[in-house]
Structure 1
Amino acid sequence: MELVSVAAVAENRVIGEGDEVPWNLPEDKKQYRERVAGHPTIFGRRTYEMFADPPGTAFIVLSRTEREYDRENAHHASSVGEAVEIAESLGTDCAYVLGGGAIYDLFQPHLDWMVLTRVPGEYGGDTFYPAWDENDWTLVETEAYEGFTVETWERRTGREQ
């Protein structure tokens, strides 16, 4: 099963400020939802709770504390391994990692792909996308939109299992 990270990232790696994204890009939100539709998505608890209508077909919420969720298709996971096991049990060949910052960091060594919306400029924020070594990745596609660019990166070297 492939793991794909999807994030909107400013030039200074900012992805959020509190529980908000510091920019408004409706076209990015649209392409983001279309990309992950039909697949399970993996979130940290705070990120999951930010969504009134989370994207994806099933929601895997990574949290240290086990919880019940108000959606039938929401699942608790206490580790990266457990999140992957749950996604595999759903019969999928791909799951999307959607944040927040700590979740991106935990999953970074396990990713097969990254789909990064590159937001021009630097923003103030308290949540960052993890640094990564471009030597381990290949930029396979760049798609320009008005006000942002979407890059698709494939891992060159083997990921951690």
Structure 2
Amino acid sequence: MKKYFIRKSFRKLLLEKELIRVVSQNEINTVCIIVAEDIFSLIDLQREVEEGLNLQNAKIYSFRTYSRKNAFSDKHFSEKYFGWNGQVKQPDFKVFIEKPFDLLIGYFGKNNLYLENAVLLSKAKFKVGISKVNQELYDIEIATSPKNIKEFLSELKRYLKILKKMKN
């Protein structure tokens, strides 16, 4: 039932944001990553992004389905972090979502309402993700498999240089 209301709010907000979205022309200095747990557990995505884009202090949050067995972590979020209207209710995650990062990387390869909602709610100025998930969320989509991080970062770096968002 809760998922129904979140999905309804998500669709409405997606349409609203699409009409008012302005893409930043600023250079990339701060990066946040929103990733699925299955990828997070396989790849040190934070390190890969920092090395691949020559940046420091990338912030990361991974979605994992809520379980009482999971200990609290400042690197994970779950469906429990969202209220019935789809808004973030957990304070630390809310701060993360509301911070105006220069670049958000949505690194997940299949639809997930909570991951997509986190990307949509993010105040990041430029959003990039893997294609075929939800093209309305991102400014750029990169066609690759989530397991191929090197290819993703190589393509991302190339596009950021073309758009003058990154120095050589």
Output the TM-score relative to the length of structure 2: 0.36
Output the TM-score relative to the length of structure 1: 0.37
| More strand as a share of residues | 1
